[in-house]
Amino acid sequence: MEKRELVCVACPLGCGITVTLGDGGEVLEVTGNTCKRGDAYARSECTAPTRSLTTTVRVEGGKAYVVPVKSAGPVPKGMMFDCMKVINQASVKAPVKIGDVVIKNVLGTGVDIVATNNAE
C-alpha cells in the first residue's frame, strides 16, 4: 500500500488530497478533496495522468520563425518529452492558419498537433 499527496488543480481552492494506492497501483481511497472534480482529478493523476502540450514548430518560407502549436487533446504525461522530440524535428510551410493540423496522431496517441496562430 502506498499513499500519495496531491494538490488539486481542478479549481483555485487547491485542496490537499491523499490517495491510497494498492500494490497493483489501483486507487483504494481518495481523501481530502471537497468535491467530485477533486476525486476525478486524483484518480486520473494516480492512474493515467495526462497533460496538454504546447510548444512551437519551425516555419519554412515565411516571415515568422516559428508558429505556436498545441496537442488537440491531452497526451499521457510520460510521453511529453517524446512528443517534443517529434515536434522539434517537424517543420511547416508558410502560410499556416489557426487550427491547421501540423502533425497527425503524434506517436500513436490519437492526438493531433495543431497550430494555434496564423503564420505568414
Partner 1 sequence: MTNFDLAVVGGGPAGMAAALKASEEGIEKIVVLERAETLGGILEQCIHTGFGLHYFGEELSGPEYAGRFIKLLEDTNIVVKTDTMVLDIADDNTVTAVNKTDGLLKISAKAVVLAMGCRERPRGALSIAGSRGAGIMTAGTAQKYVNIDGYMPGHEVVILGSGDIGLIMARRMTLEGAKVKMVCELMPYSGGLTRNIVQCLEDFDIPLKLSTTVVATHGKERLEGVTIAKVDEKLQPIPETAEYVPCDTLMLSVGLIPENELSKNAGLTLDRITNGPKVDEYRETEHKGVFACGNVLQVHDLVDYVTEESQIAGLGAAKFIKGEKISGDCIGTNGINGVRYIVPQRINRETDTDVKLYFRVGAVYTNASIVVEANGETILSKKKKKLCPGEMEYVLIKKDVIANLPKDSVITVRVEA
Report the interface residues with partner 1, using CB under 8 A. 6-9, 12-14, 34, 51-56, 58, 65-66, 68, 70, 77, 80-81, 84, 88, 98, 116-118
**Nearer of residues 28 and 35 to partner 1, judged by Cβ:** 35
Q: Any idea which residue has 497533460 for its cell?
A: 51
Least distance in angstroms from the C-beta of 53 to partner 1: 8
DSSP assignment of 45-60: HHHS-EE--EEEEEEE
Cα dihedral 73→76→82→83 (10° resolution): 0
**Nearer of residues 22 and 44 to partner 1, judged by Cβ:** 44
**Nearer of residues 44 and 117 to partner 1, judged by Cβ:** 117
> In 3-state terms, what secondary structure has residue 30?
strand
